[in-house]
Amino acid sequence: MVENVTSINDIEADEDEIDLIKLVSSNADIANQYVIFEGSNGEYYGINVAKVEELFIFEKSNMVVNNNVDDLIIGIAQIRSHMTPLIYFDEWFGNKSLEDELYELLILCYFSDEYLGLIVKQVFDIVSINPEQMYANAKQNELTTFIAKISAGKKEFLCTIFDTDRLLYDLYGEEKMSEEKGFVPIKSEKMVLFADDSKLVRKMAHEAFEKLGIKFKIFQDGQELLEALEEIAVGDIGLFLLDVEMPRKSGIDVIETLSKQSKYSKIPIVVHTNMANASIRHFLDIKNVSQTIGKVDFKTIETSIRNYIL
């Protein structure tokens, strides 16, 4: 096996590529920055920078090929000492596949303790997208979370942010679900308030919470949760369980809002996210978040609820 692939940090790059590299490794405004890449259909897609480790030139010769044609994983490559599964984004998303030589870049992703190489046609830019710019789209396409209008130069265009939780589930779902059998009911009169923009994760949460026998309310974003607080007595809340990346109001926005109201100060907050960037984890630590856990891991969520619910 070839043990190395070529990083765009390791080759001569033009000025735009150098800026891209610096942004990927930057900690500035990390929660709202997105790597934008082009699909085979000419449309644009995005993934949060906090889920991106590095960008590489894609060379198919540098991997062990998976001969199972029905598997999304096309092969394994050793990248920065990590044995990394590789997939074509277009194939997973349902776009028409291109010839191999037209796929130029590999986005090395790290989320939920998993490394994954996402093979794409080309990376376009990195842009900042604030939660209020996001339009929830999971009802129209379950592989997406939201759509945003973004600007690059003098142009404006729509960009789809795909659901990385769904991607992980499609790759490892059966394995993870088999690990999550046997929920033990939790005895508590308190309520869990859960927010996540992924339709799949909300469905899984509903099933898990019912098996645990707990009281709960599920929201599709942080704004919906904050609005609901007006009708929920503080004494009824036993735990906030939040995603980070959500439209309208992110998990970070919710945490900031709660931290300014002393009546919520004693209610534990658990964050479940596949955004592994150190700057986000540091922010959560200084905001006294009780625990940060990966997705999609409802067995660990069960343990967290059992440990932290008031």
- Give the model confidence (pLDDT) of 87-126 as tens digits: 999 999 999 999 988 999 999 998 767 899 999 999 988 8
Reference 29, options 50, 54, 51; nearest CA is 50
Contacts 24+ apart (CB under 8 A), 307-310: 308/239, 308/268, 308/270, 309/186, 309/188, 309/190, 309/192, 309/214, 309/238, 309/239, 309/268, 310/188, 310/190, 310/237, 310/238, 310/239, 310/266, 310/267, 310/268
Instruction: For the chain, give the longest Cα–Cα distance.
Output: 61
State phi, psi for 68 to the nearest 5 degrees: -80, 105
- For helices 199-212 and 298-308, angle between their N-to-C axes, nearest 10 degrees: 50
Quick one: pLDDT at residue 143? Answer: 92
Q: What is the pLDDT along the chain (310 residues), one digit of tens a residue?
A: 334 455 545 544 444 443 444 444 444 455 688 999 999 999 999 999 888 888 888 887 778 988 887 789 999 999 888 899 999 999 999 999 999 889 999 999 987 678 999 999 999 888 888 888 888 887 788 899 889 998 866 788 899 999 998 998 888 875 554 455 567 899 999 999 999 998 889 998 999 999 999 999 999 999 999 999 999 999 999 999 999 988 899 999 999 999 999 999 999 999 998 875 667 777 888 888 999 887 777 888 899 999 999 8
- Give backbone dihedrals phi and psi of 42, rounded to 5 degrees, phi first: 85, -5
In this predicted structure, what is the pLDDT of residue 19? 44
**CA dihedral defined by 77, 276, 239, 207, rounded to 10 degrees?**
-20
For residue 237, what pLDDT is reported?
Answer: 97
On whether the CB atoms of residues 40 and 155 are closer than 8 A, the answer is: no
**Single-letter amino acid code for the residue at 240:** F
Entry pTM: 0.81
Cα 178 → chain centroid:
22
Amino acid at 169: Y
pLDDT at 161: 93
Contact between 290 and 269 under an 8 Å Cβ cutoff? The reply is: yes
DSSP per-residue letters across 30-48: GGGEEEEEE-TTS-EEEEE
Asked whether 235 and 264 are in contact (CB, 8 A), the reply is no
Q: What are the tokens at 144? A: 């997406």
Cis peptide upstream of residue 296 (ω within 30 degrees of 0): yes
Euclidean distance between CA atoms 134 and 147, whole angstroms: 6
Host H or E run for residue 19: helix 15-25
pLDDT the model gives residue 276: 56
Check residue 214 and report its DSSP letter: -
pLDDT digits (tens, 9 = 90+) for 223-258: 999 999 999 999 999 999 999 988 899 999 999 999
DSSP reduced 3-state for 118: strand
Domains of the chain: 6-169 (2.40.50.180), 182-308 (3.40.50.2300)
